[in-house]
């Protein structure tokens, strides 16, 4: 069945488990329990992730009986394309519908080094960052690992048409991945599996708002996957104003967990800092941030915030962005300003879904 056919069928009932929710080891167990040799699982895995079919009937090196059994017991994740926006810079943003009529955003970004995919881990988000449209309707539900995987497989299928690859993944779409930790880790393990999509661990970044217990857990996972932290303020008081999650996990505890992560992994941490006009973008904020980060192996990514009408947040003036950057750099902090992608298509987190929800309310 083609993607188009799948979209038309628009499966609305989740009657069977998603094949993408099964690891290779779980598929091996399933094969053995169903009287098949263990190696069948690797063949299925290859059809799913390397040949990237959307229907069990296409798995032609399996017996007809096995294909029918798979079809009886599993389904593929259906991502129906509600809208798609293509930016002049090559960014493509999708609003996908899930089987239960929820909508999620996935973005393919084109860089000179390849294509990266930004995935969503939850329908909505309960973290409540004040500059973020994704959190406006609260959290609806967690995505399963398979639903996160499907976003990357779908992106790769789209890129297959022009012989290109998903070269990196960022978990920076809607949701707090560390509030959906187990499914996120399952997703990551599938992404890096050498028999699957085989994405290099160092080309994957997971971004958290600072769910401290799971930063420790992630540090102990023994992976090479990058960690980014949405910091957005140089101190506890201001961070609590911008990010309510800071009241649950205070600034100093977040920093301590990051030091643990760094000690354990030796990896450089990315600090995401959304610059909000007149709020956290003053020279003294840059000075304070430089002080906090002075002993850390890190990189600061400055993100000029998009206008958020609900909060009346405005963008920092260009000259002030450069001043902020210069102050950090003068203190020896590695810092860049995020290249804005898809600005003309509302590529910032949650904006497309928020518009869609608004429309549904009106309908």
What residue numbers does the annotated binding site cover?
Answer: 125, 129, 132, 175-176, 207, 230-232, 306
Give the interface size with ligand SF4 as a residue count (CB under 6 A): 12
31 binding ligand SF4? (CB under 6 A): no
Return the residue of 106, 151, 155, 209 that touches ligand SF4, per CB under 6 A: 209
Q: Which is nearer to ligand SF4, 92 or 129 (CB)?
A: 129
Return the residue of 169, 192, 269, 349 that touches ligand SF4, per CB under 6 A: 349
Q: How far is the CB of 135 from ligand SF4 (least distance, A)?
A: 4
Q: How far is the CB of 231 from ligand SF4 (least distance, A)?
A: 12
> Which tokens in the block code for residue 272?
């995401």
Return the residue of 134, 184, 226, 280 that touches ligand SF4, per CB under 6 A: 134
129 binding ligand SF4? (CB under 6 A): yes
344-362 exposure pattern, b = at least 16 Cβ within 10 A, e = fewer: ebbbbbbbbbbebbeeeee
| Separation CA 46–CA 53 (nearest Å) | 9
* HSE toward the beta carbon, residue 167, CA cutoff 13 A: 9
Length of the chain (residues): 363
223 binding ligand SF4? (CB under 6 A): no
> Which tokens in the block code for residue 190?
């599938």
Catalytic, 147? Answer: no
Q: Give the residue from 359, 360, 316 showing the smallest Cα distance to 338.
A: 316
Catalytic, 349? Answer: yes
135 binding ligand SF4? (CB under 6 A): yes
Q: Which is nearer to ligand SF4, 175 or 196 (CB)?
A: 175
Of 11-19, 38-46, 111-119, 170-178, the window that binds ligand SF4 (rule: CB under 6 A) is 170-178
109-128: which residues touch ligand SF4 (CB under 6 A)?
Answer: 125, 127-128
Q: How far is the CB of 300 from ligand SF4 (least distance, A)?
A: 17
Catalytic residue among 105, 179, 183, 272: 105
Q: Are 145 and 186 in contact (CB under 8 A)?
A: yes
Q: Which is nearer to ligand SF4, 127 or 185 (CB)?
A: 127
Q: How far is the CB of 225 from ligand SF4 (least distance, A)?
A: 18
| Separation CA 302–CA 32 (nearest Å) | 51
Q: Which is nearer to ligand SF4, 36 or 176 (CB)?
A: 176
270-309 exposure pattern, b = at least 16 Cβ within 10 A, e = fewer: bbbbbbbbebbbeeebbebbbebbeeeebbbbbbbbbebe
Query: For residue 354, which phi and psi values (nearest 5 degrees)?
Result: -60, -40
The 10 Å Cβ neighbour count of residue 117 is 26
270 binding ligand SF4? (CB under 6 A): no
- Contacts with ligand SF4, 302-331, as mask; x by CB under 6 A: ------------------------------
132 binding ligand SF4? (CB under 6 A): yes
Q: Return binding residues for [4Fe-4S] cluster.
A: 125, 129, 132
Q: Are 346 and 352 in contact (CB under 8 A)?
A: yes
Q: Which is nearer to ligand SF4, 175 or 342 (CB)?
A: 175
174 binding ligand SF4? (CB under 6 A): yes
| Separation CA 345–CA 164 (nearest Å) | 23
Adjacency order of strands within the sheet including 298-304: 80-86, 92-97, 103-111, 114-118, 166-171, 204-208, 226-230, 269-275, 298-304, 334-337
Tell me the sheet residues that pair with 96.
81, 104
Q: Return binding residues for S-adenosyl-L-methionine.
A: 175-176, 207, 230-232, 306
| Interacting residue ranges for ligand SF4, rule: CB under 6 A | 125, 127-129, 132, 134-135, 174-176, 209, 349
Q: Provide the annotated active-site residues.
A: 105, 349
């Amino acid at each position: 069945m083609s993607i188009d056919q799948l979209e038309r069928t628009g499966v609305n009932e989740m009657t069977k488990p998603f094949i993408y929710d099964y690891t290779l080891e779980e598929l091996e167990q399933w094969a053995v329990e169903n009287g098949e040799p263990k190696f069948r699982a690797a063949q299925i895995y290859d059809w799913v992730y390397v040949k990237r079919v959307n229907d069990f009937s296409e798995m032609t090196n399996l017996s007809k009986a096995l294909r029918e059994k798979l079809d009886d017991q599993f389904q593929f994740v259906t991502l129906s394309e509600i809208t798609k926006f293509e930016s002049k810079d090559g960014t493509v943003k999708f609003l996908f519908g899930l089987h239960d009529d929820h909508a999620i955003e996935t973005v393919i970004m084109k860089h000179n080094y390849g294509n990266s995919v930004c995935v969503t881990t939850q329908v909505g988000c309960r973290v409540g960052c004040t500059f973020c449209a994704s959190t406006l309707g609260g959290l609806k539900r967690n995505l399963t690992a398979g639903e996160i995987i499907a976003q990357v497989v779908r992106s790769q299928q789209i890129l297959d048409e022009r012989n290109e690859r998903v070269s990196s993944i960022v978990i920076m779409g809607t949701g707090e991945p560390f509030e959906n930790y187990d499914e996120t880790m399952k997703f990551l393990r599938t992404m890096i599996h050498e028999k699957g999509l085989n994405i290099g661990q160092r080309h994957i970044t997971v971004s958290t708002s600072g769910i401290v217990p799971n930063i420790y857990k992630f540090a102990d996972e023994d992976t090479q996957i990058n960690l980014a932290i949405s910091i957005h303020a140089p101190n506890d008081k201001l961070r609590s104003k911008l990010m309510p999650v800071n009241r649950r996990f205070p600034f100093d505890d977040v920093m301590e967990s990051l030091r643990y992560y760094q000690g354990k992994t030796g990896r450089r941490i990315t600090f995401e800092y959304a610059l909000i006009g007149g709020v956290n973008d003053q020279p003294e904020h840059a000075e304070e941030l430089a002080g906090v980060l002075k002993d850390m192996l890190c990189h600061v990514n400055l993100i000029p915030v998009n206008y958020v009408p609900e909060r009346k947040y405005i963008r920092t003036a260009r000259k002030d962005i450069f001043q902020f950057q210069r102050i950090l750099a003068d203190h020896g902090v590695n810092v860049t300003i995020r290249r804005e992608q898809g600005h003309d298509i509302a590529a910032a987190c949650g904006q497309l879904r928020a518009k869609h929800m608004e429309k549904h309310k009106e309908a």
